[in-house]
């Protein structure tokens, strides 16, 4: 365990030292993956499917606030949908505006959640999101998860309806609008997913804040079980064609991600829990203190020896005389041995003044001491 704690401290120190470079790079990478995924999934406007444009926009996102990643991703998706159908783009724009109003009203700081949720849905591992959000965020983040799931199913509806929309004539505007709206609002799988994620976030958030031992682990297990049960019940009631194998594998991956988050964010030692009771004029206080698991990092001290260090061993007095001493052997019992030309004093020490032996310390008078020091 000590090795893992040392590894965690090294990671933290590395992040602190390289934060000014690492954060923009991660934002650039996230924006790049999001835009490439949009171009790969939609791809109706070929002009946007250009790596130079994608790189420029991703580079801009690396220096701008996180909300601009959502803005550029929404703009890319609207342009692709507009190339497919103006009616579908109009419906998508209206729904985007409603989601933006909800997002900026309830959880404006959860931009990464809105971006990561549809990306993980495309990768078929969306069950990590509600568990991570319940551990790190609050109940208001349910809005961000709901918006992310809604965006994924909106784009999925447009993709699945594209052949039908292309087969319709230009005068069938109402039919195109109804096709897109009914496809989104009538999607039972989307409603089941949003409900399952919302309840999972609440369960994880409420349990991990309890003052019980291993609250985070209990919250993760309870959240995963809640998510699985709701998804399976929704599949039985509404026939959402949910894959049981993918749900189970995704839940196991979510547990692994949750334990990793716990290790870096909430690593405590319950064996050393202390309970304290005190009072003031109005209240009695019962406090439970759980210490964090920490380890002291080993520090290395490097001593550089150069000509200045050697010269510091020679001390000069105002008269210009110098005292040169040479240490030989080790210091037994706190004393040191200094060799001269002749004589010893107090454990074998003698003094050499300007290359001439000054004799034993016992033979030196006060004037010699003044000249010496």
Which has the minimum average pLDDT: 5-9, 211-215, 244-248, 323-327? 323-327
Distance of alpha carbon 200 from the chain centroid: 21
Instruction: List the one residue out of 100, 46, 47 whose CA is nearest residue 74.
Output: 100
pLDDT of the residue at 307: 58
Q: Structure pTM?
A: 0.76
Instruction: List the one residue out of 76, 44, 46 whose CA is nearest residue 60.
Output: 76
The percentage of the chain sitting over the pLDDT mark of 90, rounded to a whole number, equals: 45
- Its sign, for the CA torsion 45, 50, 56, 57, is positive
* Residues in Cβ contact with 226 at an 8 Å cutoff, skipping those fewer than 6 apart: 196, 199, 200, 203
Which has the minimum average pLDDT: 94-103, 172-181, 204-213, 305-314? 305-314
Q: What are phi and psi of 51, to 5 degrees?
A: -65, -30
206-240 pLDDT, tens digit per residue, is: 999 998 889 999 999 999 999 999 999 998 988 88
pLDDT of the residue at 297: 62
pLDDT exceeds cutoff 60 at 187: yes
């Amino acid at each position: 365990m000590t090795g893992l704690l040392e590894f965690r401290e090294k990671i933290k120190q590395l992040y602190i030292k390289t934060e000014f470079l690492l954060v923009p790079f991660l934002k650039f990478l996230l924006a790049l993956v999001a835009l490439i995924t949009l171009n790969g999934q939609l791809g109706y406007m070929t002009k946007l499917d250009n790596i130079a444009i994608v790189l420029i926009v991703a580079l801009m996102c690396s220096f701008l606030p996180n909300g601009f990643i959502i803005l550029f991703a929404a703009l890319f998706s609207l342009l692709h949908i507009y190339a497919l159908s103006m009616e579908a783009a109009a419906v998508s724009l209206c729904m985007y505006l409603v989601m933006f109003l909800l997002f900026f009203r309830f959880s404006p700081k959860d931009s990464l959640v809105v971006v990561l949720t549809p990306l993980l849905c495309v990768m078929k591992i969306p069950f990590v999101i509600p568990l991570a959000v319940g551990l790190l965020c609050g109940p208001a983040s349910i809005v961000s998860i709901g918006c992310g799931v809604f965006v994924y199913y909106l784009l999925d509806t447009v993709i699945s309806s594209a052949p039908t929309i292309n087969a319709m004539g230009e005068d069938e505007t109402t039919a195109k609008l109804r096709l897109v709206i009914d496809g989104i609002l009538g999607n039972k799988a989307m409603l089941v997913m949003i409900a399952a994620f919302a309840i999972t976030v609440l369960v994880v958030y409420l349990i991990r804040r309890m003052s019980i031992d291993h609250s985070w682990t209990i919250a993760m297990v309870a959240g995963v079980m809640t998510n699985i049960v709701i998804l399976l019940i929704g599949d039985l009631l509404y026939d959402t064609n949910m894959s049981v194998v993918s749900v189970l594998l995704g839940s196991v991956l979510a547990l692994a991600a949750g334990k990793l988050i716990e290790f870096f964010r909430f690593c405590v030692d319950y064996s050393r829990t202390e309970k304290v009771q005190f009072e003031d004029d109005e209240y009695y206080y019962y406090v439970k203190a759980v210490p964090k698991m920490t380890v002291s990092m080993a520090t290395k001290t490097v001593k550089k020896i150069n000509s200045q260090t050697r010269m510091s061993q020679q001390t000069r007095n105002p008269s210009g005389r110098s005292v040169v001493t040479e240490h030989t052997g080790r210091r037994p019992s706190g004393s040191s041995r200094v060799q001269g030309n002749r004589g010893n004093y107090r454990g074998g020490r003698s003094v050499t003044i300007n290359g001439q032996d000054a004799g034993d310390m016992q033979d030196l008078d006060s004037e010699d001491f003044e000249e010496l020091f």
